Every structure is written in C-alpha cells, then in structure tokens.
Structure 1
C-alpha cells in the first residue's frame, strides 16, 4: 500500500519510468508519505540513513559507480540545507543526483510554524533544474505536477549531467497509506540527434600542431576513451592523465604520462623547450596537479581547446582559444580520425622524462613510516578489480606517485575538493559497485564524516585505510602554514583521536599499524578477505 497523495504517487511512478532505481531515504516526519511509498515500491532499492549530509554524499557515490541518476530524500527545514555540500559536489563533478525534499504547504511558509523555511530556490546555484510540485486538486493541477516532474527528471542527464531538486509540499494528514497501486503516469521522453564533427577551422588548428597534448581530467570508469587516446599516442600525441581519469588500461604505454607532476617538479630551467606543447585539448573534469596549471600558464600553448557537453569556457591555463561543445569521446574520436603531424621529438622527450621519474618512484625509499610509504605498500597489495576511493588533500596526491593494480576504478570528490563527504561517497560507491572498495582517507576527513557509518547496513565490501597522522598532513607539506605558530591548532586541525572504539561499536573488523611489520601483517587480511566478509578498518599511525 502507498500514500494516497496524488503527487507522491505521480513522482514515484515517474522515478521508475525514468530508470531511477536507488533512493537514499532520510528519517523524518514530513517526508513520511514519500519514505513509505518509496520503500513500498518493489522497483526502488531504498537505503535508510539519518544524517542528510552523509546521505546525499552516499547517493552521489552511487551515481558515480552506476553512471546513472540516484536519488536522496529528506524531510522539511534545515535537512535540505544539510545536503548542500553533496549537491555542490555533484554539480561540479557533473553527476546526476536527484534531491527530493518534503515541505510544508506553501500557505504555511514564513508563518512561524515548525521546521519550516523557504525551500524552493535553496539550492539554485548548484542545480540544473528545480521545481516545487503543486498538491493536485483537479485534472489540470495533476497535469502540471506530471509536467514538472518529467521536466526535472529529464534535466538530470540533458546535455551536461548534474543535480536536480524536486520540492514536495505535503499537507496533513501524512500517514494515510490506502493507495493500492501506482498510477499509469504520462512519461515524456527526450530524443537527442546532435552529432559532433570537427569544423574546418578546428581541423586546420589540429593539423598545424607539432607538439599536441591531451589532458584528461577526472572521468568515470568505462567511458571507452582508451581506444582513441591510444590511436593518438601512436601518432606522436602526448596524453596526461592522473589516476582519477580511470585510464589504467593504457597507463605505462609510450605517449602516456601519469607522472607529469613529478616531471614538472624540477627547476624550470631544467625543462627544455621541446617539452612545451603548442596545442592542448582538455577533456573531463578537474585535475589535481598544481604544477601543470602553473607550467601551462607560464608557457601557454598557441591553441587550447576545452571540451565539455555544455560548451563551458573555464580558462584554467589562461590561454583558452576554443570551447568545444561535445562529449569527450566524440572529440577524441574526431581527432583520431584526422591526420596528425606531431614532431616525434616531443613525445620522445616526454617519454624519456616519464621513465626517469617512474624509475625514481619504483626505487622510492620505504623509510620512514609515513603517509606516502604506507600508500606505496598498500597499493602494491591491493587486489585487481577493486575500487579505490581517495580522500582529498594528501591521499589523492600520494596515490598518484605509484602504479595501480589492473582494472582499478578510482573515485574521489574532486568537484570542489572538500574533505566533508569522502567516506560517505565511498560507502555509496561500495554499495552500488559491488567491487571491493578501498577508501584511503586522512583522519580529519574520516572523523568529519563518520556519520557515513551511522546506518544499519555498512557495505560488507567496504575497506577503510585510515591515515592517522594527528591532523591535516597537507599543511605540513605545502609552503606557508609553517610560518604560523598557530598552524597545528587553527590551520591543520591537530587531533589525538583514534578509531578503534568506533570500529568496535559498529562491529567492523579492526587493525592498527604503527610500523611496516604491523602494516604488512594487517594487509594480508585486509586485502585478501572476501568482499562479502564484512566492513573493515585499518588504522595506520603515521608521521607527518
């Protein structure tokens, strides 16, 4: 049985019709008609959570793993604002997160009634579309409701994917569950026939390039970019991509550099002019390397194309010449089909530098027992076919220096780069992907987001590698913070917390390592356990 409220029934029917299968449902009273109806629908998989911020990041992680829209539902009032960090992350990471908020009837907004605020427009700067549904009273208002829901759900994946907010005012009574079936709701479909092709001007720019570089930012796994990139590399084009690009299948091949950040770490005068690209195309999302940004700003190429589904114009290197409205795969296939006149010396110079720093990384001194050396040891033990969820600041940077096992999917909250939802997103990724999911996370990020684990069913395939160095380790590595005598307390967030009691309270298998001997012993169980054997936490006490 379902709620009798017509707009709740219409929304549920259309969620199913538009292919949404996963909903994270937060506890609350005003949202009871939504929660009950979603949980009663056999076509929806519902996950129960309490903390709305964690719930929204969990749904975001599910979006990333499944590469399709997932929803999160909350009650009225400040609960909606608690979801804002995850919605913003989804916006800048281009993930189709659907936010459904319960609300009081419009007549009672601003009347000093309980748990009430102006909810329409609350997320307007970080959503692709927002609608507030009417409570249907007649055929026309039901048509209006249906149209708004269809428009909102279509916006999730139209052009550039992104989050959408559906606000649902609900009048009392809230607990009438007498509807026996969902309605046969009208479904609006959108057909897209646009096909991208290089213009004559673009062909000319590409064929003039002698030192072409493709920079691939963060990408979801399994998009099929490897084939055109490999074809371009074979013809003298360089490809720069971090682990977040999910291009492990071609990592290590000539023309591919995952260690360009280390190459650029040397003195500027030691980098010959032959390394400077004259043509750059950027595809995908954010890149981590600050050195690459600084290098291309200091040595701008003659041509810089940025490719995105909505034709956005981010001038990251201060030399943008063309914004290309296309899917990443479309552009790369288009370039691969064109003649390329790259100077072989360009790729040869980069390949030589890449091999030199790769040898340095292979011979990396395993002492002392620190974040980077622990990461190296762990990645060498991580099983093939895993998912790697990287926390921001140190983990995402340290992981880049070392190779990944085959068939590793990599995820990280690099839309805004915050530490606030890394663990929750990892939980969502683990739940949706089914892969052994290893979350490498620092202590500040872990404890900030520990409500990710406040749920009845922590994914059994979740493995947390907690780097506990007593605060924000990144602030001991970058120049500047050390000039302040208040660094540890007020900048780095120094802490003496440990995770053992939390893990035991939650029933998680737990290990602690303070040396390489303890780490290797723990990794034997941590990395070889069956995915369904239950969540695990390995806490590593490292030096800064």
Structure 2
C-alpha cells in the first residue's frame, strides 16, 4: 500500500532509526501480530532487506548464515507466545561463534505477565549463553522514557559488535498501533564506540572541557597528558574533591554553578570529555553540553549528562595523548573560569555557624598532604564550595549512602600511619558508623569533625523535596530527636572512654580555638573528635541561601521570582503568560 510508512509507536521508531544509523539492514521475520509495528515499518523502508521464514528456529539459523557470510549484524524478529523460545538453539550457536544476531521479540507489557493472559511469555531473563545483553525497549510516554529507550537500544546494538561480537536481545513493548502514517523518523540519540585500534574521530570545533567524576589519584603521566590536552585545545578540567586531579587547568566549579540567581556562561560547552565515576557534586547537572564523549577502559554506556555521543574504550592517557599537540599553551578559558570564581568568592559575607561555615574554615587550614573524608551529602556539598589544593578528598559517592564514611576513613588510615586522616561528618552519619571508633587498630593519625545539628539536615534545606512537608519533615525524613537530642555528654563519654581526645564547640569562637589543634600537622598521642553543635537549624538554611546568592543577575532574579509567584497565584496559564512576557525582554 502506498500510504503506509512508519508506525507512530515511538519506541519502535527508535529501534528502526538506530538500526539505520548503525547500517544494520538484514531482517529475518517470522509471522505474527505482536511485532507488526516493527515489521510493518521496515518492510516499507527500502533501506532494509527483509526476508520471511515461518519456522523461528530455522529463521534464527538463516540469520547465522547471513551474519557469517556478510560479516554484518542480522535482525531476527517474531511475535509473542512460544515463538521466541525457538530462537534459543541458534542464539546459542551465535554466542559461541560470536555472530552478531539481534533478536527483537515483541511483548504486550510486563504488567500482563503472570495473570493467565494468552500469549504472554516472560523473557526478562535469557539463558546466559544465548545473549551477551538483553534490554527492554520501553513504551515511550515522555522525554525521559525516550531517552531511556534510546540508551538501552544503543547499548544492545553496540554490544552485538563489541569484543568480537555476539547475539543480543531487544524486548520490544507494543500496543498494536494501526497507525503507519509517520513519513519521517524523528532524530534519535546515536552513540558510537571506539577502541585504540579504530581511527578516532576529529574533535568538534568550539569550547571544550574535561569533567572528572570520582577518580583514583592520577599518576604523573596521566596528569601531564591531560595538561597537554588542555593546553592544546584551551580546555579546562572541572573537578570536585572526589576527582583526584590536582594538575594544571583544574577548576573547582561548584560555587559558580551553584548560584541561584546568575547564569554561569562559562558552563556552556560544545564538547565535554567525561572521565571518572559517580560525581560528588550535583551542580554538574547544570553544565550545558553540546555533546559528551565518555572515556573509560570499561567502554560502558554511561550517560550522566543526557548528551552522550561517543564512548572511547581505552585508557585516559591514550585518549588525551592522541588529541594533544606539543608546543601549545592556550589557557584563556581557564583564566576566565578562575576569574569568575574569585569574583564570586570575594563577595562571600559572614556566614552563621553552620556546616558551610565550618567547611570554609576547614578548607583554609587542612594539613598539607592529608587525606580528607567527607560524609554524604551536607558535608560533601559544603566542602565543594571551597578550594582545597593540598589535600586528597574522599567520599563514598559510589553508593551515595551515609553508612560507612568513618569506617572507610579508618580503613584508609591503617595503610599510612604517618599520614593524617581527617573526616567531616553530620550526626546521623556519625552515629550510624560510630562503632568503628572502638576498633582497636584506630591510630593517632585519625581526626573527626562531627557537625551535630540533631537531624539529617540534608532533608531540611529548602531545595530538598522533603522540605515541602514543613515541620512534619523533621519527624521521619530528617529523623530528628535521635541519639540524645544533641546531648553534650553522649559523644564525650563515648570518645573519651575509647581513648580519644574530645573537644566541643557551640560558637564560632570555640571552633576557631580548637581548629588549630585539630588541623595541626603535628601527630599527637591519640585520635581526636571535635563535636560542633548547631543550635538553630535556620542558620544552616541561611548559610546556604547566602553562599548560593553571591552572584546576582537581576534578570535571573526577576524570572525566578515571577515564576514562583505564577505557580502560587495564577497557575499554569499564568506561568505561560509570564514566559511570553519574558521572551520579549
């Protein structure tokens, strides 16, 4: 029929678009209805070479022969019920011979499994040696679904050719749409993978930055490669205290990106090179990237910024050395970033006694070469506002839980008795992990700064969703009232009975008196606990508002205030009207 084109089911469109983007053209289909949206679309697209085979077992073996002969990936697709079970023999053959077969099986939805409904087979778990990877092409309802679906299909198509190749499985959700009137496939995020054996692509023109998530310490060779790359391309290295990078072109960006009432124009980046693992700084989500290149030896698809375009399965040293040129020294972008940071930090007013104020005082005085551990989230966020040039930062950002921060620090301290290990944690994290203080191996190189505000203050900041509950949020979300309700003697007795030196502060003056001792480069005869009591939780919020409002742009303030007023007074129609007004400004 001349009026049939592509299905309107977006997840199927995504599968088809990515097959075409990867030049995968062979399709062997078996009869049925559940996969009609896919088959009905590809059979009307001249790009694809579609073949029919009634027997699914035979169809899959036909695909094996095609893949071996052509050297290209081959799609097999079938309906629901037991049809897909007949693929197992040939997929096993493909697995052990590394043949790139892509099994696309259609289904009616996971919610229909297990309810005695006809033709609903559970394919969520594949036998190990039938597929290198099995993914779900979810039904797309919004942009978030679309992104997830595209990432999963990209993973599968890349995996069928990775490490020699092999079969993969895409479980395609359908609602049996009869609409085949879509003439043009909408664009889809397409990801490419490169190894050191491939011809690597050219860097795009424009502003370039390196982003480092949590990372082991860089060795000298790796640091020099990154520095040479930045000098070649006038790039910077965005870091936080878990990044492990202390070379040239380093920019501690949390303070700039964390401003509520100003735009950090220098965060508009054409290409972001992403290395490292989970970031310890949520402000990184404000980086506005044209596209992202991920560099990691694992070669996995990690799309932290939603703009992943290329994955480089190679060492970071190889990547940065490849794209560098000797004899260049460009640093105008770095100079601009540092200048903006200095301008913002210079406007810092006097803060009340709070986690952020303590972080500022600690950052100025950390012993050179010490190992500094931060608790999740409040202590980590606060420290990231400030530069700490001569200390190694650590935080359990892999799982991002409050448990284990003290134990991690103690474990590290046992490896280097001559190095100082200092932790800054909140009260919930402290009491969660306090049993490690009684470990008989704890040395005199351990020091702990406990910020005791009697609750999980992270859930009390205005930006937390839990703050919408008001005072009720203190009861369970912030877990206020536990552990002696800021008892002045509980931690003292515990620490002193275990042989620690215990200090406490309830004012700034008291903290500053103890700071010099706790952060001294000298080694004392026992470990130290300094407990700082925050009497008024409002001081924590005030400190946050002050440090997040240092760089105020009048237009941004106006937009935020009008948007807030619209939400509370005039509803969505009011918001739309105000957006129209602001666009004209």
TM-score by length of 2: 0.53
Q: 1:528 to 1:366 in 2, by over 3 A?
A: same
**1:338 Cα offset (Å):** 8.5
Q: Give a deviation string over 1:27-46, Cα, whole Å, max 9, x none.
A: xxxxxxxxxxxxxxxxxxxx
Q: 2:268 aligns with which of 273, 276, 280?
A: 276
Q: 1:358 aligns with which of 342, 345, 350?
A: 342
| Pair 507,280 (structure 1): closer, same or farther in 2 beyond 3 Å | same
Distance 2:520 2:287 in 1: 41
| 1:287 correspondence with 2:279 | yes
Alignment-derived partner of residue 483 in structure 1: 468
RMSD: 2.7
TM-score (normalised: structure 1): 0.57
Q: Distance in 2 between matches of 1:479 and 1:535?
A: 35
Secondary structure of 1:376 counterpart: helix
Please tell me whether the aligned partners of residues 281 and 305 of structure 1 are also in contact (alpha carbons under 8 angstroms): yes
Please give the alpha-carbon distance, in whole angstroms, between the structure 2 residues aligned to 1:480 and 1:309: 37
Matched, 1:449 2:437: no
User: Which aligned pairs between 1:91-240 and structure 2 lie closer than 5 A?
Assistant: 197=196, 199-202=198-201, 204=202, 206=203, 208-224=204-220, 225-235=222-232, 236-240=234-238
Q: How far apart are residue 532 of structure 1 and its match?
A: 5.2
1:241 aligned partner: 239
Q: 1:516 to 1:452 in 2, by over 3 A?
A: same
**Equivalent residue in structure 1 for 2:520, among 505, 508, 528:** 528
**In 2: Cα distance, 1:536 partner to 1:234 partner:** 43
Q: Is the 8 A contact 2:281 2:384 kept in 1?
A: no
Q: Distance in 2 between matches of 1:318 and 1:222?
A: 26
Counterpart-to-counterpart distance in 2, 1:533 and 1:362: 39
Change (3 A) 1:483 1:282: same
Q: What's the secondary structure of 1:305's corresponding residue?
A: strand
Q: How many residues align?
A: 333
Local SS of the residue matching 2:277: coil
- Partners of 2:200 and 2:472 in 1: CA distance: 55
What displacement does 1:314 show?
1.1
The alignment status of 1:256 with 2:250, answered yes or no, reads yes
2:195–2:312 contact (8 Å) kept in structure 1: no
Deviation at 1:363, TM superposition (A): 4.7
1:269-318 Cα offsets, whole Å, 9 max, x none, are: x454x74211111011111332322443xxx41x3211222111111111
2:403 equivalent among 407, 411, 420: 420
Alignment CA distance shift 1:418-1:339 (3 Å) = farther
Contact 2:406 2:430 in 1 (8 A): yes
Query: After the TM superposition, which residues 297-312 of structure 1 pair with which residues of structure 2 at under 5 Å, given as runs?
Result: 300-301=289-290, 303-312=291-300
For the 8 Å contact 1:265–1:291, the answer to whether it is kept is no
Change (3 A) 1:395 1:262: same
Q: Which has the higher contact order (CA 8 A, sep 6+)?
A: 1
Unpaired runs of 5+ residues, structure 1, are 1-158, 160-194
Unmatched runs of 5 consecutive residues or more in structure 2: 1-162, 164-193, 541-585
Relative to structure 1, the CA distance from residue 378 to residue 362 in structure 2 (aligned partners, 3 Å threshold; closer, same or farther) is: farther
Rate the CA distance shift 1:358–1:474 in 2: closer, same or farther, 3 A.
farther
Q: Deviations over 1:299-352 (max 9, x none)?
A: x41x32112221111111112111221222332223225999x9x7xx746643
Please give the secondary structure, in 2, of the residue aligned with 1:503: helix
**CA radius of gyration, larger in:** 2
Structure 2 residue aligned with 1:540: 532
Residue 261 of structure 1: how far off its partner (Å): 5.2
Q: Deviations over 1:236-271 (max 9, x none)?
A: 012211121122343xxxx43212552363557x45
**Corresponding residue for residue 331 of structure 1:** 319
CA deviations over 1:507-538 (Å, ceiling 9, x no partner): 10010011121111112221226335211000
Aligned to 2:116: none
State how 1:39-58 maps to structure 2 within 5 Å: none
* Inter-CA distance 481–229: structure 2 relative to 1 (3 Å threshold): same
**Structure 1 position 361, deviation (Å):** 2.3
Task: Say which SS state the counterpart of residue 384 (structure 1) adopts.
Answer: coil
Distance 2:393 2:445 in 1: 15
1:462 & 1:246 partners in 2: Cα distance?
A: 21
* Cα offset, 1:214, TM superposition: 0.9
The reply to whether residue 265 of structure 1 matches residue 259 of structure 2 is: yes
Give the 3 Å change call, closer, same or farther, for CA 457–260 of structure 1 in structure 2: closer
Residue 361 and residue 398 in structure 1: after superposition, are their counterparts in 2 closer, same or farther (change >3 A)? same
- Report the Cα distance in structure 1 between the residues aligned to 2:370 and 2:207, rounded to whole angstroms: 35
Identify the residue that residue 168 of structure 2 maps to in structure 1. Answer: none
